[in-house]
Amino acid sequence: MTPNTPDARRRAIVLALLALALLALPLAAKGKKSLTAPGRYKDWDDEIDRVEILKGFNLADYDRVIAEPFDAKDVDLPDKDDNTYLPVKSVLSHAVEPFLDGLTNALPERLKVGKGEGGEARTLKIRGKVDLMDPGSQAARYWVGFGAGASKTGISGEIVDAATGEVLIKFEQERRSGVGAAGGDYEELFDRNLEQIGEDIAGLLKAF
């Protein structure tokens, strides 16, 4: 029988804490693995709306991340006589650029980020499609606030090994912006959404 002394009690407490720590390690490892294991995820890491991981990879094996110009042909446009038509058209013409800004800001500096369509070795390529570009209401943002009238931008895409053409990940992500001077300039809010989506996808890549 173990003596009921202060030293014995301290040893028992230390052993119990060590046992709990050892039990927690597999759970932590499992939680980390679940972010990168092949499968379909909703609200991936509480950050990205939908992710489908087809094949795991190691980001350290790549030197570059490139993105092709985004496909925007299926976006529902405002009426041509609406004051939001031209801002939407303008942003759609350069949608990949603010996305790349967000990607660059959030990825490690060693990775070269830019536009491209080639199949270079040690390169990840992002193919994106703009699914939604809703300008919202500038008046509602200005007069109501609290998220009313927010502009919305939705992107779906694939992350591909450029050399092999193999699709590694598919994703869908939407961002909203509802704050800006005088209700926010439409193009400024769209660009902000796209930049945030770029940062989100950088976070996805960094999990690998």
Task: Output the pLDDT for position 30.
Answer: 45
Task: Output the pLDDT for position 10.
Answer: 62
pLDDT 10s digits, 140-182: 444 344 445 688 999 999 999 999 999 999 999 999 986 544 4
Helices (H), 35-95: 85-93
pTM: 0.78
Local structure of residue 160 (DSSP, 8 states): E
Task: Output the pLDDT for position 117.
Answer: 82
Burial letters 77-88, b for 16+ CB under 10 A, else e: ebeeeeebeebb
Task: Output the pLDDT for position 150.
Answer: 83
pLDDT 10s digits, 48-99: 999 999 999 999 999 999 999 999 999 999 999 998 999 999 999 999 999 9
CA atoms within 13 A on the CB side of 59: 18
- Report the C-alpha gap between 175 and 173 in whole angstroms: 7
Residue 208: name the closest of 37, 39, 30, 59 by CA. 59
- Indicate if the pLDDT at residue 139 is higher than 60: no
Confidence of residue 136 (pLDDT cuts 50, 70, 90): confident
